[in-house]
Amino acid sequence: MRTITWDEQKAVVKLIDQSVLPMKFQFVELTTHDDVYHAIKNMVVRGAPAIGVAAIYGMALAAREYKGQDLNALKASLAAAGKYLNLARPTAVNLEWGIQRTMKMVDEFEGSADQLKQKILDLANQAADEDVATNMSISRFGAELIADGDAIVHHCNTGALATVDYGTALGVIRMAHEQGKRVHVYVDETRPRLQGARLTAWELEQYGISYDIITDSSSGYLLRSGKVDKVFFGADRVAVNGDVVNKIGSYMLALAAYDNAVPAYSVFPLSTVDFNCPSGENIPIEERPQAEVLNLQFNGENVMPEGASARNFAFDVTPHRLISGLITEHGVLYPPFCRNLSLLKPKGV
Distance from C-alpha of 346 to C-alpha of 328, rounded to nearest angstrom: 14
Shortest distance, position 57 Cβ to ligand MRU, whole Å: 17
The least distance separating ligand MRU from the CB of residue 286, rounded to whole angstroms, comes to 8
Question: Residue 148: how many CB atoms within 10 A of its CB?
Answer: 10
Minimal distance in Å, beta carbon 105 to ligand MRU? 24
**Residue of 236, 243, 274, 316 with catalytic role:** 236
How near is the Cβ of 163 to ligand MRU at its closest, in Å?
Answer: 5
- Taking a C-beta distance cutoff of 8 angstroms, is the pair 340, 334 a contact? yes
The least CB distance from residue 108 to ligand MRU, in Å, is 29
Instruction: Using CB under 6 A, list all residues that contact ligand MRU.
Output: 46-49, 92, 156, 158, 162-163, 168, 195, 233-236, 246-247, 314
Sheet of strand 315-318, all strands in order from the earlier edge strand to the far edge:
273-274, 237-239, 244-247, 315-318
**Burial code of 192-225, b = ≥16 C-beta within 10 A, e = fewer?**
bbbbbbbbbbbbbeeeebebebbebeebbebbee
Q: Closest separation between CB of residue 48 and ligand MRU, Å?
A: 4
Within a 10 A sphere around the Cβ of 139, how many other Cβ atoms? Answer: 24
Looking at the Cβ atoms of 117 and 177, the one nearer to ligand MRU is: 177
Cβ nearer to ligand MRU, comparing 222 with 235: 235
Q: In whole angstroms, what is the distance from residue 283 CA to residue 296 CA?
A: 29
Nearest approach, Cβ of residue 182 and ligand MRU (Å): 24
> Smaller CB distance to ligand MRU: residue 144 or 286?
286
Nearest to residue 289, comparing CAs of 317, 304, 310, 306?
310
On the question of a cis peptide bond just before residue 192, with omega within 30 degrees of 0, the verdict is yes
For ligand MRU, the closer CB: 12 or 253: 253
Q: How far apart are CA 225 and CA 109, in angstroms?
A: 58
Comparing CB distances to ligand MRU, the nearer of 82 and 171 is 171
Based on CB atoms, which residue is closest to ligand MRU, 116 or 162? 162
Phi, psi of 29 (to 5 degrees): -115, 125
**Please, what sign has the CA dihedral across residues 187, 191, 197, 203?**
negative
Parallel, antiparallel or unpaired: strands 4-7 and 12-16: antiparallel
Residue with CB nearest ligand MRU?
Answer: 234
236 catalytic? Reply is yes
- Specify the residue, 162 or 277, whose C-beta has the smaller distance to ligand MRU: 162
* 349 vs 344: CA distance, rounded Å: 11
Burial (CB count <10 Å: 0-12, 13-18, 19+), residue 184: middle
> Which of the residues are catalytic?
236
